[in-house]
C-alpha cells in the first residue's frame, strides 16, 4: 500500500517540470491529484512556458497510475480562478490533504531596459503572492475537514542565499520572492499547527527542467562566468533531477514526516553549506 493512499494533493504548476514529477510521485504513493497550471506565456519570462498539451500529458500519466486527477487552467495570481479550480477538485475528489505550492517563474535573460520594475513585480506576484493565494485557496477546507494535512512551499536556494545577485529585476525579484516564501512557511506553520497541518519549504538547487535548461539561460550563464561560478554546487553534479525534489516532498508529506513542520529543507547538492 502506498504511503499516501486515500489522500488528495493540490499541485500548482503541474503541467510539466517539477510539478508534473511531484504529481506523479504522489500518485505512485496512492494520492489523487488536483492539478493547476497557467498553460500560457508570461511576458516577463524569456523561455517558453507550459501549454495545455503539457497539462493533458500530466493528466494522462496520473491516470496511467490508476489515480484520479482533476486539472484546471488557472493563474495563481488570479484568486477567483484558483479558488474555483480548488473547489471543483475538492468536490470531485473528496477534500484536500496536501498542498504543493510549486508554480513559479524565472526572468533570467529578459531584456529589462526601463522594464525592471515590471520584471520585479511580476516575480513577486507569481512566486510570492501566488503561493499565498494557493495556500489560502485550500487551507479553510483542510481546517474544516479536521483530518490534518501537509503543505510544502517550493522556494529555492535563492530563498536562503543571495548568491549570484547582480542588481537586475530578475535576480532581485526571484531572490526576494523565494525568501518571502520562507516567511509565509513560518507564519503558516504557526497558524495551522493546532489543526495538525504541517508546513515546510523545500530549497532546490538548479533542477533539470525547462526553466533553466533552455537556450536563454544557457547563454546567460555562458556570458556571465562569475554568476555561473557563484551558482555551482558543492557535490559534483551540475543540476539535480525533478525526481530528487519529489522524493523529498513525498517524505515530508507522508506520515514518516508527521512531526516535521516549520523547516526549510534544502535539496541542493550542498549549495547552501558551501
Does residue 19 belong to the site contacting ligand NAD (CB under 6 A)? yes
Of these, 99, 198, 209, 231, which contacts other proteins (CB under 8 A)?
Answer: 198
Q: How far apart are CA 247 and CA 184, in angstroms?
A: 23
DSSP state of 124: I
Residue nearer to other proteins on the CB measure, 15 or 150: 150
CB of 146 to ligand NAD, least distance (A): 29
Catalytic residue among 47, 120, 174, 271: 174
| Residue 47 falls in the annotated catalytic set | no
CB of 268 to other proteins, least distance (A): 7
- 154 and 18 Cβ atoms separated by less than 8 Å: yes
Does residue 173 belong to the site contacting ligand NAD (CB under 6 A)? no
Of these, 19, 104, 180, 257, which contacts other proteins (CB under 8 A)?
Answer: 257
- 253 and 184 Cβ atoms separated by less than 8 Å: no
| Residues numbered 215-274 forming contacts with ligand NAD, rule: CB under 6 A | none
Sole window of 17-25, 56-64, 164-172, 221-229 interacting with ligand NAD (rule: CB under 6 A) = 17-25
Does residue 103 belong to the site contacting ligand NAD (CB under 6 A)? yes
Close Cβ partners of 158 (under 8 Å, ≥ 6 residues apart): 164, 174, 175, 178, 179
Q: How far apart are CA 98 and CA 138, in angstroms?
A: 9
- 61 and 225 Cβ atoms separated by less than 8 Å: no
Close Cβ partners of 198 (under 8 Å, ≥ 6 residues apart): 148, 149, 150, 151, 189, 192, 252, 257, 258, 260, 261
Order of strands across the sheet with 98-101? Answer: 69-73, 32-37, 8-12, 98-101, 149-154, 197-204, 264-267
Does residue 168 belong to the site contacting other proteins (CB under 8 A)? no
Does residue 105 belong to the site contacting ligand NAD (CB under 6 A)? yes
24, 25, 29, 34 alpha-carbon torsion, rounded to 10°? -50
Of these, 144, 190, 228, 229, which contacts other proteins (CB under 8 A)?
Answer: 190
Q: How far apart are CA 262 and CA 189, in angstroms?
A: 5
Does residue 133 belong to the site contacting ligand NAD (CB under 6 A)? no
Number of residues that bind ligand NAD (CB under 6 A): 29
Would you call 196 helix, strand, or coil by DSSP? coil
Alpha-helix residue ranges (DSSP H) falling in 29-78: 52-64
| Residues numbered 72-91 forming contacts with ligand NAD, rule: CB under 6 A | 75-77
Which residue ranges make up the site for other proteins (CB under 8 A)? 186, 189-190, 193-194, 196, 198, 205, 234-237, 240, 244, 247-248, 250-251, 256-263, 265-270, 272-274
Which residue ranges make up the site for ligand NAD (CB under 6 A)? 12-13, 15-19, 37-38, 49-50, 75-77, 102-105, 126, 130, 154, 156, 204, 206-207, 209-212
Indicate which residues carry an active-site annotation.
Answer: 174
Amino acid at each position: 500500500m502506498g504511503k499516501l493512499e486515500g489522500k488528495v494533493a493540490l499541485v500548482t504548476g503541474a503541467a510539466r517540470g517539477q510539478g508534473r514529477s511531484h504529481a506523479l510521485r504522489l500518485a505512485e504513493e496512492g494520492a489523487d491529484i488536483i492539478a493547476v497550471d497557467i498553460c500560457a506565456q508570461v511576458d516577463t519570462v524569456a523561455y517558453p512556458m507550459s501549454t495545455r498539451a503539457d497539462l493533458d500529458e500530466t493528466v494522462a500519466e496520473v491516470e496511467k497510475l490508476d489515480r484520479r486527477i482533476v486539472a484546471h487552467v488557472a493563474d495563481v495570481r488570479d484568486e477567483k480562478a484558483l479558488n474555483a479550480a480548488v473547489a471543483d477538485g475538492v468536490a470531485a475528489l473528496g477534500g484536500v490533504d496536501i498542498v504543493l505550492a510549486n508554480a513559479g517563474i524565472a526572468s533570467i535573460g529578459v531584456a529589462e531596459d526601463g522594464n525592471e520594475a515590471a520584471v520585479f513585480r511580476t516575480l513577486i506576484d507569481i512566486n510570492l503572492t501566488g503561493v499565498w493565494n494557493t495556500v489560502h485557496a485550500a487551507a479553510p477546507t483542510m481546517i474544516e475537514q479536521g483530518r490534518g494535512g501537509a503543505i510544502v512551499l517550493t522556494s529555492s536556494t535563492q530563498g536562503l542565499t543571495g548568491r549570484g545577485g547582480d542588481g537586475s529585476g530578475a535576480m532581485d525579484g526571484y531572490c526576494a520572492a523565494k525568501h518571502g516564501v520562507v516567511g509565509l512557511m513560518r507564519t503558516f506553520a504557526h497558524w495551522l499547527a493546532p489543526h495538525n497541518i504541517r508546513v515546510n519549504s523545500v530549497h532546490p538547487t538548479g533542477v533539470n527542467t525547462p526553466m533553466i535548461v533552455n537556450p536563454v539561460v544557457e547563454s546567460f550563464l555562458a556570458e556571465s562566468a562569475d554568476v555561473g561560478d557563484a551558482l555551482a554546487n558543492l557535490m559534483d553534479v551540475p543540476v539535480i533531477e525533478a525526481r530528487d525534489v519529489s522524493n523529498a516532498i513525498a517524505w515530508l508529506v507522508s506520515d514518516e514526516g508527521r512531526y516535521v513542520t516549520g523547516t526549510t529543507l534544502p535539496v541542493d547538492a550542498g549549495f547552501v553549506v558551501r
